[in-house]
Amino acid sequence: MELVHSAVSAWLAQRGQLFCWAPVALATGVGLYFAQKVEPTAVQYFWIGGMAVVFVVLSIRTGALLSPVWLALALVATGICIAGARAHMVKAPVLTWRYYGPVEGRIVGIDRSGSDALRLTLDRVVLARVSPGRTPERVRVSLHGVQGYLEPAPGMTVILTGHLSPPAGPVEPAGFDFQRHAWFKRLGAVGYTRTPVLLLEPAGGGQWLFKARMWLSDRVQERLPGETGAFAAAIMTGDRSGIGQDTLEALRISNLAHLLAISGLHLGLLAGVVFGAVRLGFAAVPYLGLRLPSKKIAAGVAVVAAAGYYSLSGGNVATERAFVMVAVMLFAVMADRRALSLRAVAMAALIVLVLRPEAMLGPGFQMSFAATTALVVVFGWFRDHEVSLGPRWFRPAVAVAVSSLVAGLATAPIAAAHFNQIAHYGLPANLLSVPLMGVLVMPAALVSVCLLPVGLEWLPLWLMGQGLGWILGVAHWISELEGARGTVPGPGPAVLPLIAGGALLLILWQGRFRVAGLAPAALGFVLWAQTVRPDVLISDTGALVGVMTEEGRALSKPRGAGFVADIWLENDGDAEEQAAAHERWGDVAATGWPVIALSGKRAAEALTTCRPEDWIVLTAMPVVELPCRVITPETLRATGAIALFDEGGKIRQVTAREVTGARLWNTHWNTQ
């Protein structure tokens, strides 16, 4: 009885803090939706929604002991329904075959591909001999070859001769699902062109925000040429099309890539600068400062400034999430509530999950809320325990150091899980760069926008360029240090949920039981350390095969299918490039794996016999029936990428389709 009484007392002690668990319950429902192997039916949604209503009624009719449990279950059910509703709302036609021919469309996005090629996103798409009902709503085309003299601009209607194909599935079972990612972007086809893009119609009306964003980007890069100007354009407008792959790689290795994305740091700094400037303005006029609620007015002006920045940046998912978090905190100031609190973070998470539930699966959502939660907890503890950060003049530097350390530790497991690398010198790089963003770069960016109408933006942009030049210098210096980049293998699907669940229990639970959160977190790291990578990987086209050897994964080709090769090696925690990994192919025989990879129609036609134990991977159909295991393009169309595991002499095969199941984004019969 005493144990039961203690448990009840501990549970009741959570009252007042349970709201922070609301986004956890909602996110659990969202996760359950995406974890399904089969798309829920309308009848199932009806029952799940009905259960949510029943749980709400039960929470009203029961006492304080059980009411939070019923509400949590209602939120879980609601999360399933919200994610399903969002998936159906974004439904758009998806190309189901390879297309070659004329492609017409209006430019709605300009960026760069992983191969550093300029890339256009088009809407109002027209394809030859394809009915409007089967034409993708949006397509994305990389521009290769000589492109002539046309400078792509927002709103232009262009025509090109393109190779298009459906968005590809995971490059390995349980890997990143690009089909799902493309579905929520309404991206129905991806491809490339090697011929010049031609102007069909000049930009007309509409898309004025996109046009303003690209105009400002061009203006900034005119004043600040080179990588510095491209960096400035990226943080002011979200346009990354001018940044080269070498700079991106240096920023990633030095853990400074977060400075490039318009995120909570940028919006927070901008809002802070505006908030402080408005308050100083009121303080300079005592007559107004003493008679008006200057703090609330400053928060309101900062919200408007943040909203303008969000709109100008293109309003992508990462910026939307950051804007919601900043807006919630500023509205808390206007409501005389504590701005930096776990309740504010929870409210922001709820809003983002309702608006874009699919964002929960991405590293941006996970890292942003992990960093914010950790910072709020640590600095809240400092405040409650009156921990001194040193002399007043030294506190900003200490605060930056503590913030970088806390945010880095909180996001390190997530970044390592998604990007398979650890920035060993990320902390000193951030200490040398982040303060400059707040003191010089963001204020100069704000002043330059204010001075644009009178043509005096060159001076603040020059100052901004000095700060960004320093940051780029730090990035290149750190990235070139020996051992700057560490690699780790990709974890299994249970690792991050265990680590996150343990951390949330440790942070949100009130009382001594919170230490129990260490157990699932520790289990997650143990499972990560025991990750077993596939012995053999076969791409979804059969164009690339990878076999694990003692030296690392051996690849069947030195070039071609480069994206697949890079992802495989990254997930292995292997820092080698494709060409070096191909040099290991001669060691495949020593592994005992009788894997033969043959490319081309002639190779398939020449194959007339094989041993029963052989695994033959072909990119074309064989002309005779073979006694061995043959993997053909027809096989791979049904299975997707394949992974093979040797479990004590017994071969276990896992396919991408087995892992992803039959979902809206990979079964396109409903879009025809």
Per-residue confidence (pLDDT) for residue 671, from 0 to 100: 39
CA distances from 576 to 260, 272, 487, 524, 543 (A): 26, 43, 10, 27, 20
Q: Which of 645, 655, 608, 642 is nearest to 627 (CA)?
A: 608
Q: Within its chain, how far is the Cα of 105 from the centroid?
A: 27
What tokens appear for 384 in the block? 């409650």
CB 203 within 8 A of CB 151: no
pLDDT in tens, 215-267: 888 888 888 888 899 999 888 888 887 888 888 888 888 888 878 777 666 77
Non-local CB neighbours of 34 within 8 Å, separated by 6+ positions: 83, 180, 358, 361
Confidence of residue 67 (pLDDT cuts 50, 70, 90): confident
Q: What is the mean pLDDT of residues 411-417?
A: 89
244: left (phi over 0), alpha (psi -120 to 50) or beta: beta
What pLDDT does 670 receive?
Answer: 39
**Residue 102 confidence class, pLDDT cut points 50, 70, 90:** very high
Token pair listed for 112: 């760069």
pLDDT confidence of residue 445: 86
Long-range CB pairs of 615-619, under 8 A, 24+ apart, other chains included: 615/536, 615/644, 617/538, 617/542, 617/545, 617/556, 618/542, 619/541, 619/542, 619/543
The strand ranges marked E within 382-480 are 421-423
- Give yes or no for a contact between 371 and 410, defined as CB atoms under 8 angstroms apart: yes
3-state secondary structure of 74: helix
Residue 45 neighbours by CB under 8 Å, 6+ apart: 80, 81, 84
The mean pLDDT value for 343-352 works out to: 88
pLDDT for residue 5: 66
Q: What is the DSSP letter of 38?
A: B
Q: How confident is the model at residue 2 (pLDDT cuts 50, 70, 90)?
A: low
- Does residue 65 sit in helix, strand or coil? coil
| Bridging pattern class, strands 595-598 and 615-618 | parallel
Q: What is the pLDDT of residues 303-319, one digit of tens each?
A: 998 888 888 776 666 67
**Mean pLDDT in residue range 138-160:** 88
Q: Residue 147 — very low, low, confident or very high, per pLDDT cuts 50/70/90?
A: confident
CA distance 83 to 162: 34
Q: What pLDDT, on the 0 to 100 scale, is given for residue 392?
A: 78
Q: How confident is the model at residue 667 (pLDDT cuts 50, 70, 90)?
A: confident
Band (474; pLDDT cuts 50, 70, 90): very high
Residue 179 has pLDDT above 90, yes or no: yes
> What does each C-alpha distance from 226 to 148, 261, 339, 479 come to in angstroms?
22, 18, 39, 20
Contacts of 214 (CB under 8 A, 6+ apart): 110, 153, 154, 237, 239
pLDDT at 672: 39
What are the pLDDT digits (tens) for 566-605? 999 999 999 889 999 999 998 887 778 888 888 888 888 8
Task: In whole angstroms, give the CA distance from residue 638 to residue 655.
Answer: 9
Which residue would you say has higher pLDDT here, 127 or 590? Answer: 127
The mean per-residue pLDDT over the stretch 512-526 comes to: 92
Dihedral (Cα; 36, 39, 41, 45), 10-degree rounding:
50
User: Which positions ≥6 away from 584 have C-beta within 8 Å?
Assistant: 549, 551, 552, 553, 554, 555
Helix 342-355 and helix 67-89, axial crossing angle in degrees, nearest 10: 40
The whole-number average pLDDT for the span 25-45 is 95
- How much is the pTM? 0.88
Angle (CA) 234 320 138, round 5°: 75
Q: How far is the C-alpha of 173 from the C-alpha of 661, rounded, in Å?
A: 11
* Rg of the chain taking only CA atoms, in angstroms: 27
Question: Tokens 């029963």 appear where?
Answer: 612
pLDDT in tens, 654-664: 999 999 999 99
Of 306, 183, 314, give the one whose Cα is nearest residue 667: 183
Q: What is the pLDDT of residues 601-639, one digit of tens each?
A: 888 888 888 888 888 999 888 888 888 899 998 899 889
Which helix (H) or strand (E) segment holds residue 43: the answer is helix 42-61
- CA torsion sign, 601 to 602 to 606 to 611? negative
Q: Which helix (H) or strand (E) holds 215?
A: helix 208-223
**Mean pLDDT score across all residues of the chain:** 87
Q: The tokens of 472 are what?
A: 């780029």
Q: Over 70: is that where the pLDDT of 287 sits? A: yes
Q: Give residue 12's pLDDT.
A: 66
Whether 206 and 155 have beta carbons less than 8 Å apart is answered as yes
The pLDDT, as a whole number, for residue 530 is: 92
What number of other Cβ atoms are within 10 A of residue 93's Cβ? 22
Residues 522-541 have pLDDT tens digits of 999 999 999 999 999 999 98
For residue 112, name the pLDDT band (cuts at 50, 70, 90).
confident
pLDDT for res 669: 41
Q: Is residue 204's pLDDT more than 80?
A: no
Alpha-carbon torsion, ordered 442, 443, 446, 451, to 10 deg? -140
Give residue 456's Cα distance to chain centre. 37
- Quick one: tokens of 656? 């991408």
Most confident of 354-363, 445-454, 618-627: 354-363
